[in-house]
Amino acid sequence: MTVKKMYEMDTYLFESEAVVTALGEEEGKKFFQLDQSIFYPQGGGQPSDTGTIHFDAKEASVDFVAKDGEEIRHYFSGEPPAIGEVVELVVDQKNRLENANSHSAGHLLASIVEGSFSTMKAVKGYHFPNGSYIEFEGQLEVEKEEAIALVNQKLCQAISSKWPVEISEMGGVRQIAMGPFPSVACGGTHVANLEQIGRVVVTKVKRKKGRIRFSY
Ligand SMILES: [Zn+2]
3-24 pLDDT tens trace: 999 999 999 999 999 999 999 9
Distance 64 CA to ligand 1 centre (A): 20
Instruction: Quickly list DSSP for 198-215.
Output: ------EEEEETTEEEEE
Q: Are 8 and 46 in contact (CB under 8 A)?
A: no
Distance 18 CA to ligand 1 centre (A): 25
The pocket of ion ligand 1, defined by CB under 5 A, consists of 186, 188
* Extents of the domains making up the chain: 4-91, 96-215
Please tell me what DSSP assigns to residue 46: B
Q: Residue 129's pLDDT is what?
A: 80
Q: How far, in Å, CA of 13 to CA of 43, rounded?
A: 19
| Residue 1 in this model has a pLDDT that exceeds 80 | no
Please tell me the pTM assigned to this model.
Answer: 0.93
96-215 folds as Threonyl-tRNA Synthetase; Chain A, domain 2 (3.30.980)
Question: Which residues is 208 bridged to in the sheet?
Answer: 211
4-91 classified as CATH 2.40.30.130: yes
